[in-house]
Structure 1
Amino acid sequence: MAEKGSVDGTCEKQTDNVVLAVQWDRCNSVVLSWILNSISEDLYSGQFFSATASVVWTELKETYDKVDGSIVFKLHHKINSMKQNGYSLSEYYHKLNTLWKQYDEMVILPACTCVVAPEFQNHNKTLKLMQFLGLDDSYMSIRSNLLLMDPLPDVKSAFAILSREESHRGVSRVGTSKTQNSAFVHPSTPSSSTSAPSPLSLSNEQMMKLLSILNEKSSPISESVTNMSGFENQKHLGDW
């Protein structure tokens, strides 16, 4: 591939062919931008004026591609001391999986083709499972169930089981929340279909004020009735 040749320098620029030279410049620019965008700002400033991707790659490899005991120790310690600590299950798994891949690239074990090779592979899988089970206390019960399995599951199977459990907890939590919210509805709140006007209730003071207002408004009628009543009384008195 042209990109790989631009990195390791095996793809050289053709000076006698203009078309190939233009294609080489284009591919070199793409690979160089990939490298410069993948390094820190301090390293970028030191390689800013570099024009060839293979030269930049070689300098970085010779300077920083050094694996010694301290780097292996730090990575090994980070893997064994890593805990979930509130991360989601997916985030925790992918962080740990990234560290495992880095460790496997640094510490390359010799290939084994003897009869104990499957046992050695199972041992490595068990170690990764134990490292992965540094979960929060909320997963204690399902972690105990995983450890009781015979044979023990690998990391991918354990992650799948825990993911299903996490999804189930999420659904249960949503259902519980809806039930609690419905419980907060006031039981005396009438529904729209059965609502009816409540009877008007007045205090004694309010009733007296209402009667007073009604008497004031009906005073002319009362006077006429009184006059008529008085006249009739006088008439009855005359008869007596």
Structure 2
Amino acid sequence: MASDSSTSETPIPLPPDPSSPQHSLDPYANPLYLHAADSSSISLVTDKLVDESNYNFWATSMVQILTAKNKFGFIYGTIPQPAEIHTDYGAWIRCNAIVGTWINNSVSTDVKTMIMYIENAHLKWTTLETQFKQKNASKIFHIEQQIESLQQGSLDLNTFFTKLNSLWEELKMHDPIPVCICGHCTCDSKARLMDYCDKKNVVRFLMKLTEFFHPARRQILMIDPLPSIRKVYGMVAQEEHQRIALPSIPDSVAFQASAKSRSFSPKPRPFCTHCGIQGHTVSRCYKIHGYPPSTRPPLSNKPDILPRPRFAYPENTQNTVNMVGSDSDISASSQLIPADKSAQSTLEQA
């Protein structure tokens, strides 16, 4: 009976021999080892557990740090409590208390009141997991919804890629990629499946970029096979840095700028010093040389300040405007006199 009871008990891991070379090189190889820096007052993570919204991020950070200290067995229950008569009982109690204190220091005040009086570190961890860990189906749906709705928009490239990559990693934790577990696979299906998922992420990343990166996106899609997501991000970031350092001006913008510069320097129009009107010079002024036979001089629309005299112009009075020496000018001036006489007769009838 004694032999049966001894075989049914859970085996307790014994600490390695202190004289062994492995123990002298890595003291943390023994999970019951506590360093002088492993104080109960430290907090392992900067972002404390608040509720189910940040549980996954908090739990991942805690597991990584406890794995580095070789204390993850206390939260998973793989290092059971030894009997009181065992030589490692005191070391296990101390390590369990330290891990439980680290958990208390890493949660908010409201959450701490729920696990404060639980002594076993494994029971503390399972209580928090049951309370705050969301179901995989609902969490996967929420993460996929965030990925689909995320666009670069006004975000810079670094911020956008960081958000998108964090969602991919969180989705991978809740919905891991299936791999072969038979142990006899020779086709390297795991590497091929990882490469397939990475290419899908490359296409998703390029689709969510703005039109600013259209030239870089076109060049990347022409590469066969597609590079990894890390290399694609590096190529797009390099394109962004080149555009910022060497901004290019489109041809249409340059043409408009040159047209505007030419419009601000118009060609000067001719000016007549005799009549003060632009469009002709003194050598072509009609008021000096007379109007052509097919045209008539413009009549002023403004009424005269003083009425015209009722008597006719004296015969010896000459038009000073049309005083020219040529025969053509004399004929032009003679044609203007009837117009004046007709205007005078109109005024007399009025």
What interval of TM-score do these two structures reach, taking the shorter chain for normalisation? 0.5 to 0.7
Corresponding residue number in structure 2 for 1:12: 81
* Whole-angstrom CA distance in 2 between matches of 1:60 and 1:164: 44
* Whole-angstrom CA distance in 1 between matches of 2:217 and 2:101: 46
Corresponding residue number in structure 2 for 1:164: 238
* Structure 1 residues 158 and 30, CA gap change in structure 2 (3 angstroms): farther
* Whole-angstrom CA distance in 2 between matches of 1:156 and 1:44: 40
2:197 to 124, 138, 142: 124
1:102 to 164, 170, 189: 170
* Whole-angstrom CA distance in 2 between matches of 1:76 and 1:52: 36
Aligned-pair CA distance for 1:158: 0.4
* Identical-residue share of aligned pairs (%): 24
Corresponding residue number in structure 2 for 1:59: 127
* Structure 1 residues 143 and 37, CA gap change in structure 2 (3 angstroms): farther
1:154 to 217, 221, 228: 228
SS in 1 for 2:234: helix
Q: Is the 8 A contact 1:80 1:131 kept in 2?
A: no
Corresponding residue number in structure 1 for 2:143: 75
Normalising by structure 2, what TM-score?
0.42
Q: Which amino acid aligns with 1:131?
A: R
Q: Which amino acid aligns with 1:6?
A: F
Aligned-pair CA distance for 1:88: 3.3
1:43 to 80, 89, 111: 111
Q: Is the 8 A contact 1:79 1:131 kept in 2?
A: no
Q: Is the 8 A contact 2:99 2:121 kept in 1?
A: yes
Q: Is the 8 A contact 1:84 1:92 kept in 2?
A: yes
Residue-by-residue CA offset, 1:154-184 (whole Å, 9 max, x unaligned): 21110121232334445458xxxxxxxxxxx
* Whole-angstrom CA distance in 2 between matches of 1:142 and 1:26: 58
Aligned-pair CA distance for 1:26: 4.3
RMSD (CA atoms): 3.2
* Whole-angstrom CA distance in 1 between matches of 2:106 and 2:173: 19
- Structure number with the bigger relative contact order (C-alpha 8 A, sep ≥ 6) is 1
* Structure 1 residues 142 and 56, CA gap change in structure 2 (3 angstroms): same
* Whole-angstrom CA distance in 1 between matches of 2:174 and 2:224: 32
* Whole-angstrom CA distance in 2 between matches of 1:59 and 1:165: 49
Aligned-pair CA distance for 1:16: 4.1
Higher helix share: 1
SS in 2 for 1:101: helix
SS in 1 for 2:81: coil
Aligned-pair CA distance for 1:92: 2.3
* Whole-angstrom CA distance in 2 between matches of 1:132 and 1:64: 31
* Structure 1 residues 137 and 34, CA gap change in structure 2 (3 angstroms): farther
Aligned-pair CA distance for 1:139: 2.2
Aligned-pair CA distance for 1:70: 2.2
Q: Which amino acid aligns with 2:137?
A: G
* Whole-angstrom CA distance in 1 between matches of 2:108 and 2:244: 39
* Whole-angstrom CA distance in 1 between matches of 2:187 and 2:130: 39
* Structure 1 residues 7 and 122, CA gap change in structure 2 (3 angstroms): closer
Aligned-pair CA distance for 1:129: 1.0
Corresponding residue number in structure 2 for 1:184: none
What is the number of residues matched between the two proteins? Answer: 172
Q: Unaligned 5+ residue runs, structure 2?
A: 1-30, 33-70, 248-350
2:152 to 81, 84, 95: 84
Q: Unaligned 5+ residue runs, structure 1?
A: 174-240
* Whole-angstrom CA distance in 2 between matches of 1:171 and 1:20: 65
Q: Is the 8 A contact 1:67 1:106 kept in 2?
A: no
